[in-house]
Amino acid sequence: QRLKDIGVYEDSIMIVTADHGVSFRPGDNRRAISETNAQDIAPVPVLIKLPHSKKGGEVDDRLVESVDILPTIAEVLEVDLNWVMDGKSLVSSEPWVNESQCFFDGEDNKQLFDLELHERKVEAANERIMVFGTGADPQAIFGISPFEGGERLLGHQISEVGLGPRSGRACEVVLPVDVHRLDTSDSFIPAQISGKITSGWKNEPELSLAVAVNGVIQAVTRTWGGAKATQPDDWSAMVPAVAFRDGENMIEIFEVVLAPDALELMALDVHVVSLGDDENSLGVVTVPGVEESGFHITESNMSGSWRWTDGHGRLVVPIKDPQKARYLELKISSGDLEETELLVRVNTITLMREKLKSGVWFLSERLDRVQFDDTLEIELISDTYIPAEVYEDNYDTRTLGVCVHGIHITQDPSPTPTPAPKGHQGKRGPKNLKWPFGPRQVGDIVEMGPDADGDGLEDSDEDLDQDGVVDPEETDPNNSDTDDDSFTDGLEVRCGSNPLDPLSLPDCTIFRGGFESGDLDGWIPKHHVGKTPSSDRTGGRHLPQR
């Protein structure tokens, strides 16, 4: 409509396409192509509106490839290209036919498919229509069941279905917004509900689940895991937006068991995590209500999710209770360079400035110098580089700053759950302390006890036998740096170094001192070109894989 309003629609060429398809075959890869799912992933749509084209158009059944799009544009615009192109123009007056199609995902993954793929593609399209419908009924997609008989549960009150004993399992439900204070007039409704089975695993190949919203079963799904997973405990489901109501909403998860002549529901213990409420995923995903700029798209692998900044990442975060916003904590990767200079600024006040070595860093700073009422503007300003300019055979041309694994705004500083080094565990062993970026198991979170020296370790975890004497295998509960190496005992325990050995230094740092704005006079972030990458790039530092 915009093109029509400014009078250029008729003169324009418009193309709609995609880079790859997606497979929904149970047990198969979703995006990685294989012999069994090629008919789902290789075909992509190509819709072309030519200048001054007649209505209706036509369907071209030739085996068209993505490389044919550029020659088509060039011929329509009557542009002479001074290089040889791999593809052919779709509007060429010379007839041509492709005998095969190429799927290309880097030099190590090139696959050719013959005309048989076209027949498989048609068959796959018919299968999708049978499963998902044609789209004529938008609500039909919510009637899909991955297990036999599951569709019979949909739309029924829980009380109408046979309830068995509790399953003995627990699950975590992750939602992008707080469903306990939902406004249905908002532009965002959490139609996708995801989670993980966190306890009660008994080596079953998969679990069939039912998702109830406000007492009505709105979706059925099943758990899954990767090809190498020992426990397929993740699950996800889509529920209709009309299932939610203003204010309080109840989410219930049930294991579905095939009983004689019926399906039986067994309730799971549910722990709901609202990402938009506890802000654990700030900077990693787009959180409703948070204004942001300077971030690339979310990336992920089996170890988690992250986003790169472009050198100046910015978030404007609404704060519901300023009394609970006392600390800013970040988990950041400094990239592949030997050293990256980072500045963290909140509401124009500089909190941190540090040169970070390559690796993963945990950063924490008090917010008591920051004045605010109901919002915090967080800025991450750093040196930058372009991977394609630093590494050979790298085609990533993005400008990258730092990699954000999580930003947390909290009332109290959070110790990490990393176990204490050997020789410091004592009789009691390490506690699994609360840390927003660590493993989060239901029932494992404990509150901190007395900590006389303020190093993040409970006194009872330093004086293990509680006799008031600092034994050789104990840290001093009244000295925050027992081995006098300038790193607190708690920081060393959390980062994996030995707090009893001055030569054992941590591989991460937690900052709490802060910087005055005068420290930054004249500092300008650098853009690195052709710098030698860090020798630790593949050294097991758990840097994100792009």
What mean pLDDT do residues 334-341 have?
78
The three-class DSSP label of residue 494 is helix
Which tokens go with 284? 């990693």
H, E, C per residue of 501-516: CCCCCCCCCCCCCCCC
Can you give the pLDDT at residue 505? 65
Q: How far apart are CA 484 and CA 482, in angstroms?
A: 6
Evaluate if residue 193 carries a pLDDT over 80. yes
Q: Which residue has the higher pLDDT, 143 or 524?
A: 143
Contact 175, 166 (CB under 8 A): no
pLDDT, tens digit, 9 for 90 and up, residues 403-449: 998 888 888 776 543 333 333 332 222 222 222 333 222 222 233 45
Displacement of CA 471 from its chain's centroid (Å): 44
Q: pLDDT confidence of 260, banded at 50, 70, 90? A: low
Q: How far apart are CA 305 and CA 301, in angstroms?
A: 7
Nearest to 369 by CA among 349, 387, 389: 349
Lowest mean pLDDT of 221-225, 227-231, 486-490, name the range: 227-231
Whether 369 and 260 map to the same domain: the answer is no
Q: pLDDT confidence of 308, banded at 50, 70, 90? A: very high
Q: Which residue has the higher pLDDT, 322 or 217?
A: 217
Q: Under 8 Å CB-to-CB from 360, ≥6 apart: which residues? A: 331, 332, 333, 405, 508, 541, 542, 543
Dihedral of the alpha carbons of 28, 30, 33, 35, in degrees to the nearest 10: 30
Lowest mean pLDDT of 193-202, 228-237, 272-281, 300-309, name the range: 272-281
Whether 260 and 184 map to the same domain: the answer is yes
Can you give the pLDDT at residue 538? 28
pLDDT, tens digit, 9 for 90 and up, residues 477-488: 888 888 877 667
Eight-class DSSP state of 362: E
Q: Which residue has the higher pLDDT, 435 or 78?
A: 78
Q: pLDDT confidence of 264, banded at 50, 70, 90? A: confident
> Residues of the chain with pLDDT > 90: what percent?
17
Q: How far apart are CA 210 and CA 71, in angstroms?
A: 50
Q: pLDDT confidence of 187, banded at 50, 70, 90? A: low
Whether 257 and 293 map to the same domain: the answer is no
Q: pLDDT confidence of 534, banded at 50, 70, 90? A: very low
Evaluate if residue 540 carries a pLDDT over 50. no
State the total domains in the chain.
4
The answer to whether residue 140 is domain-embedded is no
Backbone angles phi, psi at 184, to 5 degrees: -70, -10
Whether 162 and 257 map to the same domain: the answer is yes
Q: For position 206, which CATH number holds? A: 2.60.40
Q: Which residue has the higher pLDDT, 218 or 501?
A: 218
Contact 305, 284 (CB under 8 A): yes
Cite the beta strand spans of 169-229 per DSSP E: 170-175, 192-199, 208-213, 216-222
Can you give the pLDDT at residue 157? 92
Q: pLDDT confidence of 204, banded at 50, 70, 90? A: low
Whether the CA torsion 413, 417, 420, 426 is positive or negative: it is positive
pLDDT, tens digit, 9 for 90 and up, residues 508-525: 433 333 333 333 344 555
Lowest mean pLDDT of 50-59, 73-82, 221-230, 362-371, name the range: 221-230
Tell the residue number behind the tokens 């090809």, with chain if given.
227
User: What pTM does this model have?
Assistant: 0.51
Residue at a domain's end among 243, 276, 309:
276
Backbone angles phi, psi at 271, to 5 degrees: -120, 115
The answer to whether residue 546 is domain-embedded is no
Whole-angstrom CA distances from 99 to 62, 89, 116, 151, 289 are 9, 16, 10, 42, 51
Average pLDDT score over the chain: 76
Cite the beta strand spans of 334-417 per DSSP E: 339-346, 349-357, 360-366, 375-382, 384-385, 403-410
Whether 26 and 122 map to the same domain: the answer is yes
Q: How far apart are CA 544 and CA 299, in angstroms?
A: 9
Whether 387 and 437 map to the same domain: the answer is no
Helices within 258-330 (DSSP H only): 275-278
pLDDT, tens digit, 9 for 90 and up, residues 489-512: 776 775 567 888 877 765 443 333
Q: pLDDT confidence of 255, banded at 50, 70, 90? A: very high
Residue at a domain's end among 260, 276, 292:
276
Whole-angstrom CA distances from 473 to 203, 470, 480 are 39, 8, 15
Highest mean pLDDT among 79-93, 132-146, 322-336: 79-93
Backbone angles phi, psi at 117, to 5 degrees: -60, -35
Whether 348 and 406 map to the same domain: the answer is yes
Count of CB atoms situated within 10 Å of the CB of 483:
19
Whether 154 and 183 map to the same domain: the answer is yes
Q: How far apart are CA 405 and CA 384, in angstroms?
A: 17
Can you give the pLDDT at residue 464? 81
Can you give the pLDDT at residue 313? 94
Tell the residue number behind the tokens 């004689």, with chain if given.
260
Whether 435 and 486 map to the same domain: the answer is yes
The answer to whether residue 141 is domain-embedded is no
Whether 263 and 287 map to the same domain: the answer is no
The answer to whether residue 538 is domain-embedded is no
Whether 249 and 377 map to the same domain: the answer is no
pLDDT, tens digit, 9 for 90 and up, residues 15-32: 999 988 888 887 778 788
Evaluate if residue 325 carries a pLDDT over 70. yes
Displacement of CA 406 from its chain's centroid (Å): 10
The answer to whether residue 185 is domain-embedded is yes
Evaluate if residue 185 carries a pLDDT over 50. yes
The answer to whether residue 137 is domain-embedded is no
Query: Rounded to a whole number, what is the largest CA-CA distance in the chain?
Result: 93
Q: For position 314, which CATH number holds? A: 2.60.120.260
Evaluate if residue 56 carries a pLDDT over 80. no
Q: How far apart are CA 143 and CA 131, in angstroms?
A: 9
Q: Which residue has the higher pLDDT, 204 or 136?
A: 136
Contact 34, 28 (CB under 8 A): yes
Q: How far apart are CA 82 and CA 531, in angstroms?
A: 33
Whether 404 and 423 map to the same domain: the answer is no
The full length of the chain comes to 546
450: domain range?
A: 416-505
The answer to whether residue 145 is domain-embedded is no
Backbone angles phi, psi at 461, to 5 degrees: -90, -5
pLDDT, tens digit, 9 for 90 and up, residues 452-473: 776 767 788 788 888 888 888 8
The three-class DSSP label of residue 358 is coil
Residue at a domain's end among 276, 311, 343:
276
Strands 110-113 and 262-267: unpaired
Evaluate if residue 103 carries a pLDDT over 60. yes
Q: How far apart are CA 533 and CA 546, in angstroms?
A: 15
